[in-house]
Structure 1
């Protein structure tokens, strides 16, 4: 057994080389800060709680526990972790226990049959010397692939949270718009009945009555469209939450109107280094590392594969005397395999690995550019949506005042009824748009959190 231990130690001493190029993180010119003013604030990992809605918090938690896309991503991480463990095992000796028991019969010179028993028990060690770093590079490549797949899982998680938040606020917005439409419809129906009675007693013209009737039909059509959108939004949220078919068909999400929260103040003067927290950038980085190690694996095919084997154990014709010093046996050896003529296969594989590395390098740069483009747009949309809310609020207040004045002018005979109808329609559209812009502001904040990599922890990757 001491011989086996010696083989293992000798093998580890020899396994030290690597043919992979030295990995260097690509250098890209980045702005120092993402916003106009530097800030020391940070993005919270649980950023959705900044909206202060306990129902939303429960929905996010449910989605994280039950969403199918996230569960599939977690499964892929488990597969990658198993692949890494398998690749890592090639760096260590393979130790087996081998036992055998046989009984043979043989004719003796006297024409009689003689019985022979043979029992053996031995330990077998085999190990491929990693002189050229093939096993080490395969291990590191598999690990980088694992981290890339884990980053993809985190990207799916981040997108899932953002989609749940946007879907939830989208439903609240539709609930409010439906309430506005129902209130408007009630007012339009009352107005139509009033104009109808006026027409019946000859106090107004038929055209005014028909215009009032048309307004009722117009609001009804708008309400029906909103109800359709509400149902679709509820279904989409239930699917994100991972509800089963019964839950999708039978569970109803509350439809009561609710004041939308103000969008939280997102720190926008963060250093550019925060984008290292984006999972897509981490995935691109790990893919680049994996491609770098693949070059070393391809290069190692130029050199021979050298393996050591050793066997130590006992052989005896009697089972009760098997494990004794007099029954011990051992043998040791080694072999190597080397390509003499491969018709350019190894060289082609090396060129392929180098080309794939260049592809990953370009993909890394593309991912960085895309990330900064998304952040630039998100910062602008977040800023402009705040201004739009103020403008819409002013428009709604102005139209409410204009409607009061139009009704007074009509009742005093200074204008026709068309002015009243036009102002009513404009106010209705502005109130619906006001809710849409509030949602737009919330969505802009959500998207900014997402593009900045909020809710994602890079410590896992730094630690490993």
Structure 2
């Protein structure tokens, strides 16, 4: 088939294309990526931190109960399942978007029966059947549709990264909550020991009072401390149950508060491989997602600019209209047409150009979002590295404090029980108070170290389960 267009038509086509091309060139070229400036090493990193980012870090805690809780959370957590569903939704939308590059074909049919009559005249009957096929296809001359498809693919990539980040965050939250539950159970056990100690002091005070008739004030102090210790025990029991409920929610279970944990907090390795700042950009899920979003905004900005260019489409249709149903598929009744059309928007009140400018600004915002997300990520790693070293030093001092407080408590209790001159119940109570505070502080500090170490793994974005080959 030969297409013969008048010369004036070709001239109009060329003029429209040049005009729209000039309009599209008025916009800034969007940025598909952004080069982050990263230092050569972490400022707060210690010796041995410059290797690859730690992988398979969950096993470093050597806690089977923690591993089991994480597996339950991965299998049953509803928030993670919802994130997975949104990821699959985006994938289906991406697949649906591929149809932009393909023809749109539709089939329609019709049938009509009518009967008419007027007075004594015989009635007449008529039948009419129709069948038609139509197709339309936008030629992607400027690759605008391909830009939109690439943007959809980037959306899917971003959601995949967000899913990986959500899974990693869930693992970290479960590990932290597991440690919180152990710490709460240790605080509960310490409260029980404290109550027993105060009850023992009270028995000594009451025995001395009965034997000598002196020390009524000691008895009152003892009874006050016993009541306070019982109240503290109930508070610690409530905290322990709430910690169990938090873990049960993460694991998709009813929050009954019945879940138990181990007796000891996991042990920490001295150093953790933190890699270099550039590793973080390549590995961390939220930065991966921001890079994909940045690319998607660039492609959508390109597509928005290309809407100023003329669009070329092809249409085709074929069909028939017959009075006999048997003739519906008879080729001799077929009528067909093929047409090409060129469309150029000349005026729409600035809608298309302003939408293109908006898309360009959205791309600029994505650049800044990516840069800001990276800065926050760097800060999280630097803070966690710095705190890791500081908490380790604090723990050593606190261990010495606990030892001395325990010795002082034993000495004061022994002196008071033996009736040594100069010793009284206030010395015993003060020694016990300091000992209890030191032990409770040590539980809190060790749990805080674990929390910070988990936060560091999360900030680095290393996988919680799979180790790198050769490690």
Tell me how far 1:352 sits from its aligned partner. Answer: 1.0
SS of residue in 1 equivalent to 2:68? helix
Q: What residue in structure 1 maps to residue 51 of structure 2? A: 40
SS of residue in 1 equivalent to 2:95? helix
Q: What residue in structure 1 maps to residue 453 of structure 2? A: 445
Tell me how far 1:359 sits from its aligned partner. Answer: 1.0
Among 81, 84, 87, the alignment partner of 2:94 is 84
Structure 1's 296 and 24: CA in aligned 2 closer, same or farther, altered over 3 A?
A: closer
SS of residue in 2 equivalent to 1:335? strand
Q: What residue in structure 2 maps to residue 8 of structure 1? A: none
Q: Is structure 2 residue 173 aligned with structure 1 residue 185?
A: no
Q: What residue in structure 2 maps to residue 174 of structure 1? A: 184
**Number of corresponding residues:** 435
Tell me how far 1:443 sits from its aligned partner. Answer: 0.7
1:84–1:146 Cα contact (<8 Å) kept? yes
Tell me how far 1:32 sits from its aligned partner. Answer: 2.2
Separation (CA, whole Å) in 2 of partners of 1:217 and 1:38: 50
Aligned-CA RMSD value = 3.2
Q: What residue in structure 1 maps to residue 407 of structure 2? A: 401
2:115–2:123 Cα contact (<8 Å) kept? yes
The correspondence of residues 246-261 of structure 1 with structure 2, limited to 5 A, is 247-249=254-256, 252-254=258-260, 258-261=263-266
Separation (CA, whole Å) in 2 of partners of 1:457 and 1:311: 58
Structure 1's 265 and 97: CA in aligned 2 closer, same or farther, altered over 3 A?
A: farther
Structure 1's 23 and 356: CA in aligned 2 closer, same or farther, altered over 3 A?
A: closer
Tell me how far 1:378 sits from its aligned partner. Answer: 0.8
Per-residue CA distance 1:419-458 (angstroms, 9 max, x = gap): 2221111011111111111111111111111101133799
Per-residue CA distance 1:199-251 (angstroms, 9 max, x = gap): 122264222222323332332232222112112212222211112xxx324x6
The correspondence of residues 297-316 of structure 1 with structure 2, limited to 5 A, is 297-311=303-317
Q: What residue in structure 1 maps to residue 145 of structure 2? A: 135
Separation (CA, whole Å) in 1 of partners of 2:127 and 2:30: 58
Tell me how far 1:407 sits from its aligned partner. Answer: 3.8
Per-residue CA distance 1:380-418 (angstroms, 9 max, x = gap): 122222222222211111212222333455543244432
Separation (CA, whole Å) in 2 of partners of 1:149 and 1:41: 25
Structure 1: give runs of 5+ residues left out of the alignment: 4-16, 459-464
Q: Is structure 2 residue 205 aligned with structure 1 residue 195?
A: yes
The correspondence of residues 229-244 of structure 1 with structure 2, limited to 5 A, is 229-243=239-253
Per-residue CA distance 1:252-284 (angstroms, 9 max, x = gap): 1126x6011202455234122331221111121
1:385–1:444 Cα contact (<8 Å) kept? no
The correspondence of residues 23-172 of structure 1 with structure 2, limited to 5 A, is 23-34=31-42, 35-36=45-46, 37=48, 39-44=50-55, 46-100=56-110, 123-172=133-182
Q: Is structure 2 residue 268 aligned with structure 1 residue 272?
A: no
Separation (CA, whole Å) in 2 of partners of 1:155 and 1:83: 22
SS of residue in 1 equivalent to 2:163? helix
SS of residue in 2 equivalent to 1:336? strand
SS of residue in 2 equivalent to 1:334? strand
Structure 2: give runs of 5+ residues left out of the alignment: 3-20, 467-471
Higher deviation after alignment, 173-182 or 217-226: 217-226
Tell me how far 1:195 sits from its aligned partner. Answer: 0.8
Structure 1's 215 and 408: CA in aligned 2 closer, same or farther, altered over 3 A?
A: same
Higher deviation after alignment, 116-125 or 86-95: 116-125
Q: Is structure 2 residue 304 aligned with structure 1 residue 294?
A: no
1:268–1:379 Cα contact (<8 Å) kept? no
SS of residue in 2 equivalent to 1:333? strand
Separation (CA, whole Å) in 1 of partners of 2:353 and 2:342: 21
Q: Is structure 2 residue 220 aligned with structure 1 residue 210?
A: yes
Per-residue CA distance 1:275-305 (angstroms, 9 max, x = gap): 1221111121112112111211221221233
Q: What residue in structure 2 maps to residue 10 of structure 1? A: none
Separation (CA, whole Å) in 1 of partners of 2:170 and 2:135: 49
